[in-house]
Chain A
């Protein structure tokens, strides 16, 4: 016959072992930083923050391409990121040194690049400068195969055109006199 005491001892033992198993399970299964900030693995916050940067900003090109950045900053492409048209900086620079050339779009690729933003398209806001490729080139009486950089400087697209316009005006005023 079990004495009533034995029942209590057994009950307490079972109870303690459950607590022990829970503590042990928690110890074994929960990651170290669990609960650091809340009910999740706190270390992941820094892990996520530590992911490498792929893109820089236009500031990150200044140290080596100051003229281009300056040129662009004073013209209508000032809001464009260099890396939109070239590629991300991590393919070009590592630890402050150039590791590979940047993508420079030429020919048809370049035309497609420009048209990605400038082609007349349903849905684009009307005040955005849009052209239809063939209409634009026809109007200027050049061949359809002309690339955009034959007339526009890519980093300051209207710079030389404005220049020509001014020269023309000057010439006209001189002729009038």
Chain B
């Protein structure tokens, strides 16, 4: 199935190329080409003018293959990540760029999932659903969720104004000046990570703290995680922790793999029940 899709994709690409070639050959080609100024400045240095140390942004690292890993077995459900995320990205109350779900599996293999307040308050004081008896619990664990940063994102494909896109270094972001808040991307995202931001009146989503990464800092949630359950790094750097895990025998899982979105968010020790 996947091969089929790829073949189709190639066919489309070739067809498009052929189309453009035909235009160039034709008499009106010149003027049409003038209208598509596609110069590539991928390797241009990107430095901010007034870069003091704190806000110095590095050039895009195009050699990197950034990836996020979540070790489910280490998460204690304290919600520090969600608090840090809200502060860092000024996320309005009631919306979540990242959240922590609680999974409880009872002896009859019924799976109970909840995430009151997005797990932001932690789970210490949040009682279980009354229907669950503590003696019946077989397994319980916390699953942090955030943007999967798909390599084949559905959200960017449906955007009618190209306001959401993948940056050259592989982050899916939302152009807040261009977005018209039509909400297509929210429906398209299979992981439900998008929402309408009440403050900016645009679609919004987790960016893996792109602004921090470009400044050489870890995403806010990774920085805040007390048990190192969240990890972020470059898979192409063999010394990074994520690359070591990736190349080890640990079983890594992605969410909803059959959809073919190819997430770059990997889970370690994830249970099959998690969707």
A binds B: yes
Q: Which residues of A contact B (CB under 8 A)?
A: 19, 22-23, 26, 31, 35-42, 44-57, 77, 79-81, 83-84, 87-88, 95, 115-117, 119, 121-125, 128
Residue contact B84 to A55, C-beta cutoff 8 Å: yes
Chain B residues whose CB sits within 8 angstroms of the CB of A124 once the complex forms: 76-77, 142
Residue contact A50 to B76, C-beta cutoff 8 Å: no
In-complex Cβ contact of A122 among B54, B134, B167, B212 (8 A): B134
Chain B residues whose CB sits within 8 angstroms of the CB of A55 once the complex forms: 84, 87-88, 212, 220, 223-224
In-complex Cβ contact of A39 among B89, B103, B122, B162 (8 A): B162
- Smallest CB separation, A123 vs chain B (Å): 4
Q: Which residue of A lies closest to B42 (CB)?
A: A37
In the bound complex, how far is the Cα of B90 from the Cα of A124, in angstroms? Answer: 28
Tell me the dominant secondary structure on chain A's binding face. Answer: loop
Chain A residues whose CB sits within 8 angstroms of the CB of B78 once the complex forms: 116-117
- Smallest CB separation, B8 vs chain A (Å): 20
- Number of residues of chain B lying within 8 A (CB) of chain A: 71
In the bound complex, how far is the Cα of B31 from the Cα of A79, in angstroms? Answer: 60
In the bound complex, how far is the Cα of B227 from the Cα of A159, in angstroms? Answer: 20
Chain B residues whose CB sits within 8 angstroms of the CB of A81 once the complex forms: 80, 84, 223-224, 226
Q: Which residue of B lies closest to A120 (CB)?
A: B124
Q: Which residues of B contact A (CB under 8 A)?
A: 28, 31, 34-42, 46, 48, 52, 54-55, 57, 60, 73-80, 83-84, 87-90, 102-104, 121-125, 128, 134, 137, 140-142, 162-163, 165, 167-168, 173, 175-178, 207, 210-212, 214-215, 217-218, 220, 223-228
In-complex Cβ contact of B211 among A50, A83, A115, A128 (8 A): A50
Chain B residues whose CB sits within 8 angstroms of the CB of A128 once the complex forms: 76, 227
Given the interface pairs A37-B168, A117-B122, the reply to whether A49 lies near B57 with Cβ below 8 Å is: yes
Residue contact A54 to B80, C-beta cutoff 8 Å: no
In the bound complex, how far is the Cα of B40 from the Cα of A37, in angstroms? Answer: 6
Residue contact A57 to B217, C-beta cutoff 8 Å: yes
Chain B residues whose CB sits within 8 angstroms of the CB of A123 once the complex forms: 77, 102-104, 123, 140-142
Chain B residues whose CB sits within 8 angstroms of the CB of A84 once the complex forms: 80, 83-84, 224, 226
Chain A residues whose CB sits within 8 angstroms of the CB of B175 once the complex forms: 40-41, 44
